[in-house]
Amino acid sequence: MKKRINKSKLGIIDLLSIVTHIIISIFILVVYDFDLVPVDTIKNWTNFYFFMLPLFLMGLQFRNLRNMRYYVIWVFIGVIQLTVYFYINDNPDFIFPNETGLSGLKALLPVLIMFQILRQISIKFFHREMIISMRYGRMTWYEEEDKRNMTWIEVLFTFILVGTTILFNVI
């Protein structure tokens, strides 16, 4: 039996989340370029936003990331973010005592890659799609759409994804 890759069209939520991310990123850039708020505030915004983005995608959009078109768009965004990080990470305006406020830019791509690896492991070895324990901003063991509880391996996969996010924000 051949596995079919989900290449369906993007839904309104998919497009809305992509456009929202692009608008927020441009907003941060414009606010910084035109010096509209203190640099420390922008540094905190970027640090928080780009740290939370992979967690948002994994927790609230993991079902949507099963759509290969949606996933590839986010991988492309992750590549852009990583490129931007290496280009501007030495900017003194974004330096904290032990890190940079831009460190979150480098986390999205590794988290997306790890998500796809763990998802494929779940499909190949457990014969079902992976579910994540964070749903709609809360932790839950039950997945309404699949009508099943999480397995211990899915809990482990969730911790791996959160750990990947944290790791790539601190290194």
The partner residues of 95 in beta bridges, in order of sequence, read 100
Output the pLDDT for position 72.
Answer: 97
Query: What's the mean pLDDT when you consider all of the chain?
Result: 90
Domain assignments of the chain as residue spans, ordered by start: 12-170
Output the pLDDT for position 4.
Answer: 55
Output the pLDDT for position 136.
Answer: 60
Q: Is the pLDDT of residue 37 over 50?
A: yes
User: For residue 78, what are the CA distances in angstroms to 20, 68, 84, 161?
Assistant: 15, 15, 10, 15
Residue 105 binned pLDDT confidence (cut-offs 50, 70, 90) = very high
Residue 132 binned pLDDT confidence (cut-offs 50, 70, 90) = confident
Angle in degrees, 0-180, between the axes of helices 39-60 and 108-126, rounded to the nearest 10 = 10
User: For residue 94, what are the CA distances in angstroms to 2, 27, 33, 170?
Assistant: 49, 16, 13, 14
List of residues 6+ apart from 137 with CB closer than 8 A:
59, 60
Q: Is the pLDDT of residue 6 over 80?
A: no
Mean pLDDT computed over 50-56: 94
Residue 147 binned pLDDT confidence (cut-offs 50, 70, 90) = confident
User: pLDDT for 64-91, tens place per residue?
Assistant: 999 999 999 999 999 999 999 999 988 9
The partner residues of 139 in beta bridges, in order of sequence, read 134
